[in-house]
Structure 1
Amino acid sequence: MKNTLRLSLKPNEKIYLNGAVIRVDRKVSIELLNDVQFLLEGHVLQAEDARTPLRQLYFILQVMLMNPQGADEARAMFRRSLPLMLASFEDERIRAGLKQVDRMVGEDHVYEALKTIRSLYPLERIALDTSDLDEEGAPRPAAMGVN
């Protein structure tokens, strides 16, 4: 049996649990007693904020947790995007992290994969130099296997 996971939620905070959106009306602690796919509201990335390659990959995986009906399509997009991303980064730490993400997704540990991607953001920031910025100083979005 897996370890129990205890989460504390603030009033009006949301948690995405196996595709269901749950909002609590007061401070509450919940215990997850078995394996469950979840995402805390504070870790939800908005589409307009997915402006770097790793954030785009994060957004794809996030869809797998938040929208189980679209999970197969998101997984296919992940499979198309990952090789492109591995080829686009020279930093071996990022590449190793992406290989870990691939393994985690293959084992259906999407939440852990999201945590790993978030941990790579500082390395990505360093890897993206000024030639990768648009006229407003924002990273140029990368095409991520979209047809």
Structure 2
Amino acid sequence: MALKLRLKPCERVVINGCVVQNENRRYTLTVSNFAQIIRGSDIMQEEEADTPVRRAYFVIQSMLLDPHAAGGYSDVITGMMAGIYTALANPDMQGRILQAMQHVSERDYYKALATLRPVLAYEDTVLPDSAALRRPARDAAASAPSQLGG
């Protein structure tokens, strides 16, 4: 089944690591086979990865953006997600963590990211907005891949 991407004017999308930018009007792009795709608006910047779930999202996003390096991060993301699963007391959110890991194991990184978005929102409601609890992204970057430019 083909995927239809409806792009807004000047919107960016990354397809298999290649940044594609639309021109000044709406455009529909049809992708006929499986590809690693993420909209520019869904890309998290490294400095935003300042909580456990955000760091996991960032690592999975990096796996999507650089599939050749993705295998090197499977142990990292497995450990991160196991820690998040254990820390969450909400069964629905734990289920989403398991679903996200299933998608990662299938190398369907976009679905893993989409599955984590409600967990990001949940984390924001339970994690106090305290600078002491939010670790700077550069500390997480030591174990996460660097981001592709674009």
Query: What TM-score, normalized by structure 2, do the two folds share?
Result: 0.81
Match of 2:39 in 1: 40
Greater RCO between the two (CA within 8 Å, min separation 6)?
Answer: 2
Cα distance in structure 2, aligned partners of 1:82 and 1:120: 12
Does structure 2 conserve the Cα–Cα contact (< 8 Å) formed by 1:16 and 1:65? no
Cα distance in structure 1, aligned partners of 2:51 and 2:105: 23
Deviation at 1:40, TM superposition (A): 0.4
1:22 to 20, 24, 34: 20
1:1-147 pair list within 5 angstroms: 3-27=1-25, 28-128=27-127, 130=128, 133-134=130-131, 139-141=133-135, 146=143
- Letter of the structure 1 residue corresponding to residue 39 of structure 2: L
Match of 2:147 in 1: none
Deviation at 1:74, TM superposition (A): 3.0
Deviation at 1:82, TM superposition (A): 1.5
SS at match of 1:120: helix
> Where has structure 1 moved over 4 Å in runs of 4 or more?
142-145
Deviation at 1:96, TM superposition (A): 1.1
Q: Structure 1: which 5+ runs fail to align?
A: none
CA root-mean-square deviation: 2.3
Q: Structure 2: which 5+ runs fail to align?
A: 145-150
Does structure 1 conserve the Cα–Cα contact (< 8 Å) formed by 2:53 and 2:123? yes
Does structure 2 conserve the Cα–Cα contact (< 8 Å) formed by 1:91 and 1:127? no
SS at match of 1:54: helix
Deviation at 1:24, TM superposition (A): 2.1
Deviation at 1:56, TM superposition (A): 0.9
Cα distance in structure 2, aligned partners of 1:109 and 1:127: 28
**Quick one: percent identity of the two aligned structures?**
26
Cα 1:90–1:141 change in 2 (3 A) is farther
SS at match of 2:23: coil
Does structure 1 conserve the Cα–Cα contact (< 8 Å) formed by 2:52 and 2:80? no
